[in-house]
Amino acid sequence: MVNLENQIFSSYQRNPVLFDEIFDERGQVKEVYSKLFNLYGEHSINDYVNLNEKAKSSFFNQGITFQVYDKKKTQEKIFPFDLFPRIIPPEEWKIIESGAIQRSRALNLFLWDIYHDKKIIKQGIVPMELISSSANYLDQMNNVDPPGGIYNHISGTDVIKHTDGQYYVLEDNIRCPSGVSYVICNRTALKRALFGVFNHYKTYSVTNYAENLLDLLETVKPKGVDVPNVVVITPGMFNSAFYEHSYLAKTMGVELVEGRDLFVENDFVYMKTIQGPQKVDVIYRRIDDAFIDPLEFRPDSSLGVPGLFAAYKKGNVTLANAPGTGVADDKAVYTYMPEIIRYYLNEEPILNNVHTYHCSRPKELKYVLNNIENLVIKPVDEAGGYGISIGNRLSKKEIEVVKAQILLSPRKYVAQPIMSLSVHPTYIDKSESFEQRHVDLRTFTVLGKDKEFVLKGGLTRVALKRGNLIVNSSQGGGSKDTWVLKT
Amino acid sequence: MPLEYSITYKAENTYEEWVYEAYWQFLVIPEENESQQFIGVNFTNTINANNEFSINGHGFKTIRVHPKQKFNEIGFEANFKLIKKEINPFDFKPEEDISRSYEKIQELDFKVDYEAFLRTTHFTHIPEQKTPLFQFDLAKSIFDNIQKLNEYTYGYIHFNADATDVQTTLDEVLKIRQGVCQDFTHLFCALARMNGIPARYVSGYLHQGNGYFGDSQMHAWAEAFIPHVGWLGFDPTNNILAGTNHIKVAHGKDYSDCSPLKGVVYTAGKNETVHSVQVSSQNQQ
């Protein structure tokens, strides 16, 4: 029974244009949420405010924070957590899971190809510019066979639910996708606050991520190594995701190191320990390509390890993700994903791609310039939601600025129709009530030698500002616990 | 007649403050190839740190030094001995069918295979010109055009050892029209690539016995890929084809792939580096 007198939702305003994940068009609670809705209804809004405060301070006390970069200063923040969970029913999860695996496998084959025979380019399926003008294409990776044949060991695929109720992929993050530690912390926080509610659903656990990650890293160990010594390398405590780096190292039971803790001798990598040097075999690196080795890439990098790349190329150490993987984490490559999937896997894409206009193509450039107000403009090689312009939010003056930027370097931009992300009831401090907010979902896929795993859950990110579509934590987003239900 | 070369490369580094940790990587060892046969290499440093051999990302042999004690002065010396075959740069089968060569360079497969050496890089970027600086005459063979380009580059820049440095890009070089082998080579590569010919930057040693331009440092020249022929060396600083006097170390897209010394030195304060190169030869019996 749906309790329509549910007091914590009494002031909930439903915008009929938006796809609400818990209420249908007639304002009825969808079946999968009805139990949750009723259970929450047993609480008063005051209970909820108290629980919310407790959850927040628990994040702070545990040091679960991240850094936001700004031109003037960097700030340490907690990732705002919302106590109203998102539920993904089993039949929908099946699509997301199989779609995420399909994309990871296709991207891996694509990477192998463009660093070896380049058949997909020679056959004219994707243009050569995808590699020749990509800042992330590494010539040094040509004809290198990464251990186990794996490039994108860890992928973060961002999906949204559009107004048509279908899932669309917004991007494939395969450099150093972050956020998985929040998935696990959100679950802990939710269980702590509302175990009575959680207990009513049969939900998959998310705590098995670390063991699957470690398992994966062991499948791609260098040849001749029996039990690999795995480490996580971080740029350091000032990195926005430092909490996550330390969390993953701790839960995998491996060392967390910085560049200065490692050194290379005779093309092997060693960790400095108080018992003397200890050989390192597999490195889960959370440092971008450009910074991993000052002797090979950016000479001014103080984060990396001199000589690391030569050791990698010799096959003495594994890097996850492989160097050069970023070339496929490019919004221009994204637009070819349907072709890439068909080409390598001979399958139809399971998850939809958002239609994309390439500003590098004169015809599409013209369309983009004439329709900016209906489009989202994205730089092809930026991460974290930086540099995105949403057409219908721009003033006339801003539109002209964006146009000028695009015309200056068309290859740098793609445009997509403004997708309407689904909305989810989210507790808003200011109004002390639930309001509709846009959400997406970052899934985490792990790809190893004969190993595929998608974390059953994921990070539901919420754009906390009303009407905002950008959910990235660096842009002031929050998150929700995400429940994947067992059948 | 083959020549036996003896090459000495030296680098002296002095630091104002103590250095506690440092890495150097030298890309100075002559490549072993068809015309270069290696006899020996001897590498020393003045503080008795280990010298390791390692292959860099582009596949060339380097020497790496990572001292484990503090120092404020370090010297490196490399001695190479090798035999260089006598090269007649014109000894190749010329292109029979000129139009076939021009068709070849238009093919997608060709462009993909040689993509790295057709790409515009930081050092081979030419600012937009009203009229192209150098255009191929399609009635002539690619080899003839490249030779013309060699001559053009030689004439365009005046050799001046003090006008530019290792950071100088082509827009500056085109303005002042002065420079050293690095600048000649970048201009040559840029113009060859603009005409669809893969070109690569080569670093190495030049035997200066014959009055060639260069200096007492490492030399740079270019290799261009000519369809149906292969990679051929051109030295635009001297307007000649690379020959017996050119001892190759490495190639790349531009200088940044070939810089002879890369160092990561953790120290405060200033430092100074002095390099020198000596090349001597004797005829093989």
Report yes or no on B23 lying in a domain.
yes
Q: Are residues B56 and B116 in the same domain?
A: no
Distance from CA of B103 to the nearest CA of A (A): 16
Nearest residue, CB atoms, A310 vs list B54, B66, B111: B54
Classify residue A384: in a domain, yes or no: yes
pLDDT at residue A7 in the model: 73
Average pLDDT, chain A: 90
CATH number of domain containing B58: 2.60.40.2250
- CATH number at A395 reads 3.30.1490.270
pTM here is 0.91
Q: Which residue of B has its CA nearest to A138?
A: B57
Instruction: State which residues form the domain around B39.
Output: 3-85+259-283
Owner of token pair 């290198």 = A144
Q: Which residues of chain B lie closer than 8 angstroms to A265, CB-CB? A: 50, 52, 66
Is A306–B56 a contact, with Cβ atoms under 8 angstroms apart? no
Confirm whether A394 is domain-assigned.
yes
Nearest CA in chain B to A114: B112
Same domain membership, residue B247 and residue B214: yes
Give tens-digit pLDDT for A90-107. 999 999 999 999 999 999
Same domain membership, residue B118 and residue B216: yes
- State chain B's mean pLDDT as an integer: 91
Mean pLDDT confidence for A34-44? 87
Question: Do B156 and B245 sit in the same domain of this protein?
Answer: yes
- Provide mean pLDDT across the span A159-164: 92
- The answer to whether residues B221 and B268 belong to one domain is no
Chain segment B254-277, per-residue pLDDT in tens: 999 999 999 888 877 788 888 889
* A106/chain B closest Cα distance in angstroms: 21
Cα–Cα distance measured from residue A162 to residue A176, given in angstroms and rounded to the nearest whole number: 26
The per-residue pLDDT for A384 is 60
Give yes or no: residues B51 and B116 share one domain: no
Which of A70-84, A262-276, A466-480, B213-227 shows the highest mean pLDDT? A262-276
Write down the pLDDT at residue B210: 57
pLDDT (tens, 9 = 90+) of chain B, 285 residues, equals 788 899 999 999 999 999 988 999 999 999 999 899 988 899 999 999 999 999 999 999 999 999 988 999 999 999 999 999 887 877 777 777 889 999 999 999 999 999 999 999 999 999 988 888 999 999 999 999 999 999 999 999 999 999 999 999 999 999 999 999 999 999 999 999 999 999 999 999 998 765 566 556 789 999 999 998 899 999 999 999 998 889 999 999 999 999 999 988 887 778 888 888 988 887 665
Pair (B245, B133) in one structural domain? yes
DSSP A199-234: TTS-B--STTHHHHHHHHHHHTPPTT-SS--EEEE-
Residues B102 and B207 grouped into a single domain: yes
Chain B residues whose beta carbon lies within 8 Å of the beta carbon of residue A124: 108
Question: In this prediction, what percent of chain A has a pLDDT beyond 70?
Answer: 95
Per-residue burial over A273-289, b = 16 or more CB atoms within 10 Å of its CB, e = otherwise? eeeeeeebbbbbbbbbb
Domain count of the fold of chain A: 1
pLDDT at position B211? 58
pLDDT tens figures, A403-416:
999 999 898 898 98
Using alpha carbons, select from A360, A362, A361, A356 the residue that is nearest to residue A375.
A356
Q: Is residue A39 helix, strand or coil?
A: helix
Residue A385, domain member (yes or no): yes
CA atoms within 13 A on the CB side of B61: 13
Nearest CA distance, B109 vs chain A (angstrom):
6
As given in the structure block, the two tokens for residue A161 are: 């639910």
Cβ separation of A314 and B55 shorter than 8 Å?
yes
Is residue A413 in some structural domain?
Answer: yes
For the stretch A192-224, pLDDT in tens is 888 888 999 999 999 999 999 999 999 999 999
Nearest to A267 among B54, B108, B264 (CB): B54
CB B146 within 8 A of CB B199: no
Note whether residue B91 is domain-resident. Answer: no
Nearest CA in chain B to A304: B264
**Both B238 and B165 in a single domain?**
yes
For residue B90, being part of any structural domain is answered with: no
Structure tokens at A70: 């700004």
Which 3 state secondary structure label does DSSP give A284? strand
Give the pairing type, strands A459-463 and A477-484: antiparallel
Give A273-310 pLDDT, tens digit per residue.
999 999 999 999 999 999 999 999 998 888 999 999 99
Determine, for residues B57 and A131 on separate chains, whether the beta-carbon distance falls below 8 Å: no
| Residue B186, amino acid | H
Residue ranges making up the domain that contains A386 = 355-417
Write out the two tokens for A235. 């740029």
Q: Do A122 and B108 touch (CB under 8 A)?
A: yes
Chain A residues in contact with B27 (beta carbon < 8 A) = none
Three-class SS state of A186? helix
- Taking one residue from A and the other from B, the number of pairs with CB-CB distance under 8 angstroms is 64
Q: How far apart are CA A50 and CA A37, in angstroms?
A: 18
Placement of tokens 């190839």 in the chain: B33
Inform me whether the pLDDT recorded for A66 exceeds 70.
Answer: no
How many other C-beta atoms are found inside a 10 Å radius of the C-beta of residue A24? 11
Whether B92 maps to a domain, the answer reads no
- For chain A, what is the radius of gyration of the CA atoms? 23
pLDDT score of A62 more than 80 = no
Task: Decide if A403 is inside a domain.
Answer: yes
Backbone angles phi, psi at B108, to 5 degrees: -60, -45
Does the pLDDT of residue A2 top 50, yes or no?
no
Contacts of B116 in chain A (CB under 8 A): 139, 142
Residue type for position B241? L
* Contact check, Cβ <8 Å, A299/B23: no
End-to-end CA distance of chain B: 8
Report A:211-230 residues touching B (Cβ under 8 A).
none
Of residues A275, A153, A127, the one with CA closest to residue A215: A153
Are both B154 and B233 inside the same structural domain?
yes
Q: Which residue of B has its CA nearest to A135?
A: B121
CB atoms within 10 A of CB A119: 13
Q: What is the CATH number of the domain that holds B192?
A: 3.10.620.30
Same domain, B182 and B249: yes
Q: Are residues B165 and B228 in the same domain?
A: yes
In this structure, the number of other CB atoms found within 10 A of the CB of residue B161 comes to 14
Number of domains in chain B: 2
Cross-chain CB nearest to B112 (options A121, A306, A313): A121
Q: Is residue A1 very low, low, confident or very high in pLDDT (cuts 50, 70, 90)?
A: very low
Q: How far is B234 from chain A (nearest CA, A)?
A: 24
